[in-house]
Every structure is written in C-alpha cells, then in structure tokens.
Amino acid sequence: MLLAIDIGNTNITLGVYDEEVLLFTGRLATDNKTTADQYAIDLKNLLEIHNCDHRDVEDCIIASVVPTVGTAIRQAVSFLFDIVPLELGPGVKTGLNIKIDNPAQLGADLVAGAVGAINDYKLPCIVIDMGTATTLSVIDENATYLGGVIAAGVRLTLKALTENTAALPSVSIHAPKNVIGTNTVDCMQSGLVFGTAAMLDGLIDEISACLPATPTVIATGGLSHEIIPYSRHDIIYNENLLLEGLREIYERNK
C-alpha cells in the first residue's frame, strides 16, 4: 500500500492506496508542537480505525508547505513503517513544466494539484484550492504551469473580521437565504460565501480571457463544496485531487 500525505497550514490530509484504488482518507491537525512520536501514534491509530495494518504500508510520498511539521511527519513515517518517504521537491519528476519566475517557489501542494488535474481533466484548466489560502493555478493546453492567484482563505477572512472588530461574531460558513442579509450573521455569511463565489467568478473570467480555449475549472479543498454551488461557472469538485496528484508523482518516480 502507498501512503500519500499532504501537509497544509491547517490540516494534514492523507490517503492510503492499493495500486490505483483509494482505500480511505483521513485528516490530522497541523501543529508545530506535535512531536514525531505523537504523529507516529496518530498515523498508526488512523490506519487501525480503517482496518489497515501499518505493516502493509510499503511506501510513502509527502507534500508539505510547513517545513517543521514536514520534518516531524517524515521522522514518524520512517520510524513507523521503516521506509524513507519520497518528498515532493526539487529533483522529483512531476511531468509538470513550470513557467513562473522562480519555479522553486511553487508550493508542493500546488504542484500536486496541478499534476492531479493534468492527468484527469481536459486542458487548459484552472485549479482552485480553498484552504487556509484560496489559490488558483493556471495550466495551459501543453501541461505548462503558467502561474496563478493567491487570496485569503474563507476561514482566514472570517478570523480577520472577528478578531479585528468589536461587534462581529464568529459564524458558520454557510450561504444565507438571500444575498441581502437582514441581520449581522446573514450579512457576514453573504460576504463570505457569495462574496468568495463572486471573486472566483471574476478571476475565472479574467484568466479565461488570457487563454486560447475555455478552461476546465476544478476545485478542491475543505470549503470548496460550500462555495462553488454559488458560482456562475461550471466547476468540478474533486475532494482528493492533491492525493491523486501525489499518487501519480509517486508512480513517475518509483
């Protein structure tokens, strides 16, 4: 079995594959204070919950945007499974031609998402990843990563509102009944959900105007399913896009 791990700023998402079949996915909290030993325990427990023996894990691939946590997870994997994981970074074969000013600056999560999209969807495409940040990655018809957009994530926006105002409460991230809110909670939810959807619509329009053909738009990330139903565009939701990309990169390098 292959263990694919995507370490984000808020969550660690992992999936276990038997060849091309995704057996299960799970999430752990990203915490700089968690030790390698604790992560090893968490990984072992998560596998057992899903009736998988940790001794059946034969290899692992990791993508991380949090270096300290990436180090702890790497040590945990090495200890628990007695393997050296493949870490997504310079020198790893991805099949992705990166055409930005400094290719080394491209986050491992964006690389994994782009590779997942290239292998499963028609190009050109736009990959939207809604996590701590909301990112849009643009891949042309030749599987070249052209660049993208980074904006504050929905939860980050909500945190900024509640922590920097005296009267605005924390709210759940769900669409209200009407875009015109009639109370504080509805007004905030309208801004978070309809406002983010409108931002995505505008960015998709602007990006599409720069491409020779209409792009396929794919969304992933924890909050995508709350936002994309309110977009004017046809957006495909793929919860496991990054894990699929990691599996494909592993296959290219094994």
| Strand 125-130, strand 216-220: pairing | parallel
Give the model's pLDDT for residue 101. Answer: 96
Q: Report pLDDT digits (tens) over 21-33.
A: 999 999 999 999 9
Give the model's pLDDT for residue 47. Answer: 95
Kindly list the catalytic residues: 109
CATH 3.30.420.40 fits 2-87, yes or no: yes
Q: According to CATH, what is the number of the domain 97-246?
A: 3.30.420.40
Average pLDDT over residues 66-75: 96
Q: Report pLDDT digits (tens) over 156-184.
A: 999 999 999 998 999 999 999 999 999 99
> Which DSSP string corresponds to the chain?
-EEEEEE-SSEEEEEEEETTEEEEEEEEE--TT--HHHHHHHHHHHHHHTT--GGG--EEEEEES-HHHHHHHHHHHHHHHS---EE-STT-----EE-SS-GGGS-HHHHHHHHHHHHHSPSSEEEEEESSEEEEEEE-TTSEEEEEEEEE-HHHHHHHHHHS-SSPPP------SSSS-SSHHHHHHIIIIIHHHHHHHHHHHHHHTTSSSPPEEEEESTTHHHHGGG-SS-EEE-TTHHHHHHHHHHHHH-
Give the model's pLDDT for residue 254. Answer: 84
Check for a shared fold between 2-87 and 97-246: yes
> Over 90: is that where the pLDDT of 235 sits?
yes
Give the model's pLDDT for residue 207. Answer: 98
For the chain, which residues make up each domain, given as ranges? 2-87, 97-246
Average pLDDT over residues 16-25: 95
CA distances in angstroms from 124 to 114, 118, 224, listed in the order given: 11, 9, 20
Q: Report pLDDT digits (tens) over 204-229.
A: 999 999 999 999 999 999 889 999 99
Q: Report pLDDT digits (tens) over 76-126.
A: 999 999 999 999 988 899 999 999 999 989 999 999 999 999 999 999 999
CA distance 139 to 132: 22
